[in-house]
Structure 1
């Protein structure tokens, strides 16, 4: 059974959206958040939170987060960019979502455990070009399911914006 954890138009600044458990907040340290990863859209390397790099600098982007018992096939026809990462929520941790400098946020009912997170994105190029557009131009679906930790993966990358961020990580690859 699919459980919706969040389904909102997220107003953000600097394109920052994050899930946090512990002493986390994206501090601009790109290397710490993407260390050893191949994708540049979703940083999970810190172990304290999940940083999602939205395409828009400011404004609203629809973000939906769902928890499923198992993965479904990646929908490469409906989404332009798809990446997967793993996260481990420690026992007793409270999970919250937030945006740049915690301007907005709220709780997420996600129990402790290890999860695979698939982040699906559409409209990244429009979001980057219309970073201050009046209406939503990019959208995101985060699918989580229980799974052992495994390396991140780029499932599909068709936008120029995603390619830029993936290349940025590749050129700065840092390992722990």
Structure 2
């Protein structure tokens, strides 16, 4: 998945350049890449627009954060661009937290058909904040470890 505005996604590797986390690619201005455990099919995802930083919820197995500045009309876009959902974000700097649950199980399933039960789920939270480096707040799965290591940090 992506979050994007007037800027088209760049390649995957460039989206994680100079980052410590490998799940939320925010290195390219105006674009976020979101990595999931599932290779193909829909995942559970909730998006929250907050006024302030929420407390970290310990029920999530993976938690990463990065800076983001929206560019134009922002939307959550499925891989390949088949579906999109508008997000009410302005051009203000913000912080984004990406929370994940059951990435390893989803990776084992690989592909989820529409009539099959949901495996992994995610929470994407935005709030106004000045730019700051990305960071990994919690990592428990092998999938997250793989992607964090793939950034080269």
Same fold, judged at TM 0.5 (above): yes
Which of the residues 104, 114, 118 maps onto 2:97? 118
Q: TM-score, normalised by structure 2?
A: 0.93
Could you say which residue in structure 1 is the equivalent of 2:130?
148
Residue 137 of structure 1: how far off its partner (Å): 0.5
Which of the residues 50, 63, 68 maps onto 1:68? 50
Segments of 5+ residues of structure 1 without an aligned counterpart are: 1-16
Match of 1:32, SS?
helix
**Aligned equivalents of 1:110 and 1:52: distance in 2?**
17
RMSD value, Cα: 1.3
Segments of 5+ residues of structure 2 without an aligned counterpart are: none
**Aligned equivalents of 1:114 and 1:82: distance in 2?**
20
Alignment of 1:86 onto 2:73: no
Residue 34 of structure 1: how far off its partner (Å): 0.5
**Aligned equivalents of 2:101 and 2:122: distance in 1?**
7
Residue 67 of structure 1: how far off its partner (Å): 0.9
Q: Deviations over 1:120-164 (max 9, x none)?
A: 000100110011242210000011110000000000000111001
Residue 57 of structure 1: how far off its partner (Å): 0.9
Q: TM-score, normalised by structure 1?
A: 0.81
**Aligned equivalents of 1:126 and 1:41: distance in 2?**
16
Deviating 4+ runs (over 3 angstroms): none
Alignment of 1:58 onto 2:40: yes
Residue 54 of structure 1: how far off its partner (Å): 1.2
Match of 2:69, SS?
strand
Residue 110 of structure 1: how far off its partner (Å): 1.3
Greater fraction strand? 1
